[in-house]
C-alpha cells in the first residue's frame, strides 16, 4: 500500500517545551499528543531525558520535545548533563514553548528565560491557569513576564483540564515550517519500548516512595524480550546506599510489589498487550557523578 500524498502547505517542525522543574511540561506534552510518553510526578526534576512526542493531523505534524527542568540545586555530572540537554534542544528547535505556572514567577523561571535564544520564536504558555480563581489577575501577570522577553504569543492553558490547548496548537502551527512529515502518521514517540518501560518504573518509584527517594536513583532494563504479544521485562533499580534499597523494597517487599504492579499495568496499557515484569534493587555508589557511567545508562 502507498501512503496518501502530503497535502500542499503541510507544516512540520520541532517544538521544545522548557521551564523550571514541576511547571507541567510533561503533562502538557502527554495531553497534546493524547498518550503518556513522558513520565510525571509531583516530585521536581522527574524528566531526565529529551523525550519526543509526536502528533500528526491532516495538515501538520507537531514534534514536541519535552526537556528536563533546568537544574540549579546540584552541580553533579547528572545535572550538568541534563542542563546540556536543555540548551542543545533550544538551539535546534523551530519553536519554543516557555512554560510558567499561573501567578508564580521566581528566580528559577528567570534562569530558564535567560537561556531562551533570540533567533527562535517563543510562545509564553501560562499553565495551571484553572487554579487562579480571579482571572483578572492573569493579564497583569502575563504583561509582567512579557516585559522581560519578546514573545511571539501568550497563551494561558490548563494542561490537566485541556483548557485552551486547541488554541495553543493553532498558534504553534503558524510558526512551523512547511515540510513533509518526518515520522509516520501513527507514531507517538521516537523512543523505544525498552526506554519507555524504564521510565514507567521510575515514575512509579517517585509516586510510591515520594520525597524519601533520593534524586540519585535510576532504572536500568537488563532484559527486554517479546514472545508474540507478551513482553518479558527485567528491570534493575540502581541506588547509592543500602538504606535506599530497603526504603524501596519496603516492609516484607510490599512497596516494591506495589511499584511493580502499577508499572506493569501502565506498560500493558501503553504497549497494548500482556507484560511479565520483574524488578530488583541494586546498590551502585556514585553512579550520578560519573560521566562514563551516565552514558552507559543512556544519559545523553
Angle between helix 254-271 and helix 242-249 axes, rounded to 10 deg:
70
Note the pLDDT of residue 5: 57
What is the reported pLDDT for 259? 92
Strand partners, 225: 232
pLDDT at 216: 59
Helix (H, G, I), strand (E, B) or coil at 56: strand
Of 231, 288, 282, 237, give the one whose Cα is nearest residue 259: 237
Whole-number Å distance between alpha carbons of 135 and 129: 8
Q: What are phi and psi of 81, to 5 degrees?
A: -65, -40
Spatial distance between the Cα atoms of 300 and 291, rounded to a whole number of angstroms: 10
The answer to whether the Cα torsion of 267, 273, 278, 283 is positive or negative is negative
What is the pTM assigned to this prediction? Answer: 0.70
Which of 214, 182, 162 lies closest to 24 in space, CA to CA? Answer: 162
Backbone angles phi, psi at 42, to 5 degrees: -75, -15
At residue 291, the pLDDT reads 52
Distances (CA, A) of 19 to 47, 87, 130, 295: 12, 12, 19, 24
* Residue-level pLDDT, tens digit, the chain, 300 residues: 345 556 778 999 999 999 888 888 888 988 998 877 765 544 444 444 467 889 999 999 999 987 765 544 445 454 555 556 666 778 778 999 999 999 999 998 998 899 899 999 999 999 999 888 787 888 999 999 999 999 999 999 999 898 999 999 999 999 999 999 999 888 888 888 888 898 889 888 887 776 556 555 788 899 999 999 999 999 998 887 888 888 888 889 999 999 999 999 999 988 999 999 999 998 876 654 545 454 544 444
- Report pLDDT for 215: 55
pLDDT score, position 72? 43
Amino acid at each position: 500500500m502507498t501512503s496518501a500524498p502530503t497535502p500542499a502547505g503541510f507544516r512540520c517542525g520541532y517544538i521544545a517545551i522548557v521551564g523550571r522543574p514541576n511547571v507541567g511540561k510533561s503533562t502538557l506534552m502527554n495531553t497534546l499528543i493524547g498518550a503518556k510518553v513522558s513520565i510525571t510526578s509531583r516530585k521536581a526534576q522527574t524528566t531526565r531525558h529529551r523525550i519526543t512526542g509526536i502528533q500528526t493531523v491532516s495538515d501538520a505534524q507537531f514534534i514536541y520535545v519535552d526537556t528536563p527542568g533546568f537544574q540549579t540545586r546540584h552541580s553533579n555530572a547528572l545535572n550538568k548533563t541534563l542542563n546540556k540537554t536543555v540548551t542543545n534542544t533550544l538551539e535546534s528547535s523551530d519553536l519554543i514553548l516557555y512554560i510558567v505556572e499561573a501567578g508564580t514567577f521566581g528566580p528559577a523561571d528567570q534562569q530558564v528565560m535567560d537561556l531562551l535564544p533570540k533567533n527562535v520564536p517563543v510562545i509564553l504558555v501560562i499553565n495551571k491557569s484553572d487554579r487562579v480563581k480571579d482571572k483578572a489577575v492573569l493579564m497583569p501577570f502575563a504583561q509582567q513576564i512579557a516585559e522581560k522577553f519578546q514573545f511571539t504569543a501568550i497563551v494561558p492553558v490548563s494542561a490537566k483540564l485541556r483548557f485552551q490547548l486547541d488554541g495553543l496548537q493553532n498558534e504553534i502551527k503558524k510558526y512551523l515550517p512547511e515540510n513533509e512529515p518526518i515520522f509516520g502518521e501513527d507514531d507517538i514517540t521516537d523512543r523505544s519500548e525498552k526506554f519507555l518501560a524504564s521510565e514507567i518504573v521510575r515514575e512509579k518509584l517517585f509516586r510510591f516512595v515520594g520525597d524519601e527517594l533520593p534524586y540519585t536513583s535510576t532504572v536500568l532494563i537488563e532484559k527486554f524480550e517479546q514472545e508474540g504479544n507478551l513482553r518479558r521485562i527485567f528491570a534493575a533499580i540502581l541506588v547509592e546506599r543500602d538504606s535506599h534499597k530497603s526504603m524501596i523494597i519496603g516492609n516484607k517487599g510490599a512497596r516494591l510489589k506495589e511499584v511493580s504492579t502499577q508499572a506493569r499495568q501502565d506498560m500493558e496499557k501503553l504497549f497494548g498487550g500482556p507484560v511479565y515484569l520483574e524488578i530488583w534493587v541494586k546498590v551502585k555508589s556514585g553512579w550520578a557523578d560519573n560521566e562514563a557511567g551516565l552514558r552507559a545508562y543512556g544519559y545523553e
